[in-house]
């Protein structure tokens, strides 16, 4: 399963690029990829059918409990089939739906939808709760990108932001629940958490955990009061709506609630809360579905009602409720995805989304019309479609549960509305007369017509021949959720039963609603109470309130004066530290050691002189030289103190700082008058003196303290044994604490991407940027560039055993390009680079991440590095070199992003 997930991730990034080179057939070719994953999961059906559980795991970050543990049982198997199976049809459909879009946009859509499929698979297969949370949040982010796919549309951007805020907020609640579970049980295993339900419920953290899990499930599955994001998410392209907001992502909340149902049910109030929220959601969604004007909006609100039914079934007690939940989950995924496909085809062909404006489309769209009829019949619960079977299960579960009257009444009413919606979305667009002539923009293609038709026919086939799905899918899924085998009888006819009578009542009431649809619709549309008291209004109000609060907070805290802000920070540091020293009351320890060397005193005095001159100088060049003097003096002290890595880094940073400031000299005034009066300067001196005194006292006391050397002894002793390196600093960075270094590298990469966005302006590539350069410097720049670049590679290569490494090497390489940029201009330097700096950043980050995979595949934790030591004249090689190269590229790309950007900005 880990291999399947890895293949899914890599394939999702690479295969969609086919759409950049192929035309109409790209969707069919790319669809072979999720179809292959579907077939791979089908091959595991014999394991699931026997009721077995398949588990796999790899260490990732064992120190924090984060491991890649996957678990396939009947419930996750069901979701894997839905995700990959419907995902295949979505890709085929998208190939036709996106015809006419630029090829790069089609490739981007295929990439996002396949990455979303991968995140969904990771979520439902994850047994480690930290892994589940990671994948859960990935689905929210990818949903945000898909909803806002048309970034030029303000409505799409608004809907994407709304969905992200709601679902990511639920994700934070899930993070809190996972943290509390780990605190109580000491494990991140989902299976162990459910097995230890009594222990979890007995703790004082039980209520917060259950509430957090419910919030996460309710936000993802659009339950009241978090339901408002889903109808707005219909701004996404229709293939995304069919996949995310009908068949898969919105059911993640159901998946989570069903997994934690034993924990929720162990409390006296857990089931009551779920049932109450589900009933309210169903009623609100039913009313809004009657008010909906567009094809997709009506389907969206009926989806919310269906999700409410699923939450209701999770909350009801009894085995039949679990059977009904599994059956309805399958039926809804099939018919609702098909209906969204039909809605998308209508929109694609006519450009019209309003139900009142559509009509008579059956002759021009025969495949879509047939598919819509079949899906609507299943949605309405008409035999012999699969939706009829699941509706009987629904009523049977309600009759057998301890909640009898209220849920049944609400379910009958809501299902009647769904019957009416099913009839309206079929009859009005395809068979009734249109209000005005319809102009067709496209024609119905097989890639648009066959996917919904296949899903509709599948709903019919499964009800007439339920043997395989009952044996391999439904029964194992029910057993996995209910935690013991339950007899399941999937059949169209069970005789005349109360469930059949309730189903007939639903159809009769639904037909009556559809007959009076127009009157009911106009009556509800004319009432402004629904808009006035809509939860969406509260969200919009919060969006206006937050900027207002932020502006007032900024006005209160910001003074547009860097000195004031810096003074507050320094005063706070000095005050807290000084108070801590005085509060302890212990005398300051001062150790009288050996007399310092004269050279060290001279270097320290040079640093002090540089600092004083920089503080008092009014000339920019003098200030630059003085600051550089201080920096170089500190670097020499590092060198004499036995820290060559720090010294080389400091030297390089100082040189780069001079280069960056030199690039800005043309736009900065060389002379600056005094901006502080004597009183302000006295305050500045007092702050500086107070901070200096506190730091002096702290430094003297720390130097006199006896420090344990356990950590340094350990790293010094284990540096070569565990990390195969003699440079302890570099071994710590790339081996012992490689995960921290990877995080810092990711931060540098993010800063580079941000800088690229800030500095980018169209047409910069055509504008020469070069000032007057001395002839000698221009001639020496080329050889100096080559020398520095060679030195950077040498520093990179030797970093594991001698002073150096990827970070220092990247800085030196940046200095090489900085010299070339000063001599020939940033455009010429960029051409010498051959690639945009951001490409280096991306490649470096990808290489750093990938360097930890070989060790994990070999059985170790992530970022456990592997080594090859052939002996003789051949050098030792390890995956740490790949990690260091990644850091090298990220640092180089980040520095050059800002260097080239500042130089271009200086001449604008």
DSSP 691-707: HHHHHHHHHHHHHHS--
Axis crossing angle, helix 498-515 with helix 405-430, rounded to the nearest 10: 50
The residue with tokens 């003098």 is 622
Q: Considering only CA atoms, which of 112, 101, 91, 109 is closest in space to residue 447?
A: 91
Length of the chain equals: 908
pLDDT value of residue 26: 85
Query: With contact defined as beta carbons under 8 Å apart, do 324 and 396 qualify?
Result: yes
pLDDT tens figures, 642-685: 788 888 888 888 887 777 776 666 566 667 666 777 888 888 88
The candidate with the shortest Cα–Cα distance to 246, out of 83, 77, 98, 136, is: 83
pLDDT at 769: 47
Instruction: State the SS3 of 495-547.
Output: CCCHHHHHHHHHHHHHHHHHHCHHHHHHHHHHCCHHHHCCHHHHHHHHHHHHH
Predicted pLDDT at 312: 92
Low-confidence ranges of the chain (pLDDT < 50): 766, 769-770
- Helices within 664-774 (DSSP H only): 678-704, 710-723, 728-731, 738-759
pTM of the model: 0.79
Helix or strand holding residue 208 (H, E): helix 206-220
Rounded distance, CA 610 to CA 278, Å?
70
Torsions phi, psi of 723, nearest 5?
A: -115, 0
Nearest to 49 by CA among 400, 480, 465: 480
Closest CA to 386 of 430, 334, 349, 423: 334
- 654, 896, 902, 906 from 667: Cα distances, Å: 21, 20, 11, 6
> 333 and 249 in contact (C-beta within 8 Å)?
no
Specify the pLDDT at position 586: 74
Angle between helices 252-259 and 295-315 (to 10 degrees): 0
Query: What is the widest separation between alpha-carbon atoms in the chain?
Result: 104
Provide the pLDDT for residue 518. 83
Q: How far is CA 631 from the centre of its chain?
A: 40
């Amino acid at each position: 399963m880990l291999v399947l997930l890895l293949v899914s991730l890599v394939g999702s990034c690479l295969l969609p690029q086919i759409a950049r080179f192929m035309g109409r057939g790209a969707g069919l070719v790319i669809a072979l990829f999720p179809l292959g994953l579907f077939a791979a999961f089908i091959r595991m059906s014999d394991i699931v059918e026997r009721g077995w559980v398949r588990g796999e795991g790899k260490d990732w970050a064992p120190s924090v409990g984060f491991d890649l543990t996957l678990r396939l049982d009947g419930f996750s198997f069901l979701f894997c089939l839905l995700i990959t199976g419907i995902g295949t049809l979505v890709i085929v459909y998208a190939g036709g739906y996106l015809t006419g879009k630029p090829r790069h946009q089609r490739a981007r859509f295929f990439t996002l939808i396949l990455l979303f499929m991968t995140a969904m698979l990771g979520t439902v297969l994850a047994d480690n709760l930290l892994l589940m949370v990671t994948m859960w949040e990935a689905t929210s982010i990818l949903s945000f990108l898909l909803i806002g796919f048309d970034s030029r549309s303000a409505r799409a951007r608004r809907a994407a932001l709304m969905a992200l805020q709601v679902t990511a907020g639920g994700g934070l609640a899930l993070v809190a629940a996972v943290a509390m579970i780990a605190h109580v049980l000491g494990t991140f295993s989902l299976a162990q958490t459910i097995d230890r339900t009594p222990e979890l419920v007995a703790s004082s953290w039980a209520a917060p955990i259950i509430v957090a899990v419910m919030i996460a499930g309710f936000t993802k599955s659009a339950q009241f009061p978090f339901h408002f994001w889903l109808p707005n998410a219909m701004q996404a392209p229709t293939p995304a709506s069919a996949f995310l907001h009908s068949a898969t992502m919105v059911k993640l909340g159901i998946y989570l609630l069903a997994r934690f149902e034993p924990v929720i049910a162990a409390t006296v109030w857990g089931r009551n809360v779920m049932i109450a929220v589900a009933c309210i959601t169903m009623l609100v969604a039913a009313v809004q579905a009657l008010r909906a004007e567009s094809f997709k909006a009506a389907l969206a609100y009926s989806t919310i009602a269906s999700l409410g039914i699923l939450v209701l079934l999770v909350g009801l007690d009894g085995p039949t409720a679990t059977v009904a939940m599994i059956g309805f989950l399958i039926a809804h995924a099939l018919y609702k995805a098909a209906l969204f496909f039909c809605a998308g085809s209508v929109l694609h062909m006519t450009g019209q989304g309003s139900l009142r404006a559509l009509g008579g489309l059956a002759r021009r769209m025969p495949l879509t019309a047939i598919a819509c009829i079949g899906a609507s019949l299943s949605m309405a619960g008409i035999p012999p479609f699969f939706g009829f079977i699941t509706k009987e299960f629904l009523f049977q579960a309600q009759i057998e549960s301890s909640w009898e009257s209220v849920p049944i009444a609400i379910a009958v009413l809501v299902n009647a509305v769904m019957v009416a919606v099913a009839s309206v979305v079929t009859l009005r667009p395809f068979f009734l007369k249109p209000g005005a002539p319809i102009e067709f923009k496209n024609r119905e293609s097989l890639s648009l017509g066959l996917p919904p038709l296949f899903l509709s026919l599948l709903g019919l086939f499964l009800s007439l021949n339920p043997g395989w799905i009952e044996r391999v899918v439904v029964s194992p899924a029910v057993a996995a959720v209910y935690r013991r085998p339950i007899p399941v009888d999937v059949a169209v006819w069970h005789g005349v039963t109360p469930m059949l009578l309730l189903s007939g009542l639903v159809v009769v009431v639904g037909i009556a609603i559809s007959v009076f649809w127009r009157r009911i619709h106009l009556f509800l549309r004319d009432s402004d109470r629904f808009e006035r008291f809509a939860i969406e209004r509260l969200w919009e109000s919060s969006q206006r309130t937050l900027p207002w609060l932020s502006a007032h907070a900024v006005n209160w805290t910001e003074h547009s004066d860097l000195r004031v802000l810096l003074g507050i920070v320094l005063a706070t540091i000095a005050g807290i530290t000084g108070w801590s020293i005085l509060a302890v009351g212990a005398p300051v320890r001062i150790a009288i050691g050996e007399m310092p060397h004269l050279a060290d005193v001279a270097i320290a005095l040079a640093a002090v002189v540089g600092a004083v001159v920089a503080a008092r100088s009014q000339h920019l060049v003098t200030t630059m030289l003085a600051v550089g003097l201080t920096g170089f003096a500190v670097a020499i002290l590092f060198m004499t103190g036995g820290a060559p890595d720090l010294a080389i880094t400091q030297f390089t940073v100082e040189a780069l700082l001079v280069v960056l400031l030199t690039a800005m000299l043309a736009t900065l005034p060389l002379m600056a008058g005094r901006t502080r009066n004597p009183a302000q300067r006295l305050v500045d001196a007092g702050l500086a003196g107070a901070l200096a005194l506190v730091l002096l006292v702290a430094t003297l006391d720390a130097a006199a303290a006896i420090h344990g050397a356990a950590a340094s002894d350990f790293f010094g002793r284990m540096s070569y044994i565990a990390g195969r390196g003699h440079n302890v600093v570099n071994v710590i960075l790339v081996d012992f604490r490689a995960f921290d270094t990877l995080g810092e590298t990711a931060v540098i990469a993010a800063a580079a991407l941000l800088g690229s966005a800030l500095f980018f302006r169209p047409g910069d590539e055509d504008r020469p940027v070069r000032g007057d350069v001395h002839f000698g410097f221009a001639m020496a720049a080329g050889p100096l560039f080559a020398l520095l670049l060679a030195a950077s590679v040498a520093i990179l290569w030797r970093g594991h055993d001698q002073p150096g490494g990827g970070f220092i090497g990247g800085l030196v390489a940046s200095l090489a390009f900085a010299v070339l940029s000063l001599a020939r201009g940033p455009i010429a330097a960029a051409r010498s680079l051959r690639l945009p700096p951001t490409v280096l950043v991306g490649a470096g980050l990808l290489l750093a991440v990938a360097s930890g995979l070989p060790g994990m595949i070999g059985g170790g934790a992530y970022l456990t590095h592997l080594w090859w030591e052939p002996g003789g004249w051949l050098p030792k090689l390890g995956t740490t070199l790949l990690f260091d190269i990644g850091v090298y590229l990220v640092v180089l790309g980040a520095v050059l992003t800002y260097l080239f950007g500042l130089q271009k900005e200086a001449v604008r």
